[in-house]
Amino acid sequence: MKIGIAGCGGRMGRMLVRHTLDTPGVLLAAGSERPGSDLVGADVASVVGAAPVGAVITDDPAALVAACDAVIDFTTPALTAVHAEQAAARGSILVIGTTGLGASDLSLLSEAAADARIVRAPNMSVGVNLLMALTRTVAATLGEEYDIEIVEHHHRHKVDAPSGTALGLGEAAAQGRGVDLDAVSDRARDGHTGAREDGHIGFAVVRGGDVVGDHTVMFAGPGERIELTHKASDRGIYARGALRAALWAQDRPNGLYSMADVLGLG
């Protein structure tokens, strides 16, 4: 299977390149970077100091998609939208780990999935997706007397908050309770806020240091507290999950899938 890595020169892009080179059954066939990057025209494997593989880094999304069977994309919402359109035009596979996608972006992905196999998840880690499944189950079991708080900690360079993973956990909790997350989400507390509202799902954000990603879902009830936690210490877990998703999508019909589908957690 020929794999292309969007944004191959970035921190996550380099991790994906390294793991693609080391994964049986896949071939590093393409890479892309932004126009004007010094990496454009270089061999993709060079971003991790590996021997050339004969694939040149391009700044053209259409050329990236055309060169491979599947593109793995951890870039930006605007660029992900372009990749989705190109994947639909060619009927190929797109694995999306991009965060910060809005309603219009998700609508575009749904449309593109009619003609492509798209796997999209706020977090590609097997462990995190298991945490989401557990969160859904616990939320469905416990009543509103258990307050739900989602606490996340990331490195100081992360630009979005709450993280896509935290929001995914919030969505899992909301699904478990059969409610709309937007209607019960509490994402900002400052000053005299008053007592917590029943049924709300709260988010707390920590930024600092070089933390790859820590997430805790807390169910705080009368006389007891249940906490589900995942701590990431190596970004390789996201790369391994993304490659697993690409290989899984080979034998699937066109459609929009999640990592829960890939892992059989649906």
Catalytic residues: 154, 158
HEC string for 182-220: HHHEECCCCCCCCCCCCCCEEEEEEECCCCCEEEEEEEE
If one counts every other C-beta atom within 10 angstroms of the C-beta of residue 32, the result is: 30
Using alpha carbons, list the distances in angstroms from residue 163 to 1, 35, 176, 212: 31, 27, 20, 12
Q: Is 223 annotated as a binding residue?
A: no
The answer to whether 122 is a known ligand-binding residue is yes
User: Is 99 assigned to a binding site?
Assistant: yes
Helix (H) or strand (E) holding 134: helix 126-141
Q: Is 8 annotated as a binding residue?
A: yes
Dmax over CA atoms of the chain, in Å, equals 62
Phi/psi at 13 (5° precision): -60, -45
- Is 254 flagged in the annotation as binding? no
Consult the annotation and say whether 187 binds a ligand.
no
7 labelled ligand-binding: yes
25 is in an annotated binding site: no
- The annotation status of 123 as a binding-site residue, yes or no, is yes
68 belongs to an annotated ligand binding site = no
Cis omega before residue 122 (within 30°)?
no
Structure letter (DSSP) for residue 56: B
Burial classification of residue 223, based on how many CB atoms lie within 10 Å of its CB (0-12 exposed, 13-18 middle, 19 or more buried): exposed
Do the annotations mark residue 23 as ligand-binding? no
Binding residues for NAD(+) are: 7-12, 33, 97-99, 121-124
**Residue set of the binding site:** 7-12, 33-34, 97-99, 121-124, 155, 164-165
Query: Which segments are annotated as binding site for NADP(+)?
Result: 34
Residues annotated as binding site for (S)-2,3,4,5-tetrahydrodipicolinate?
155, 164-165
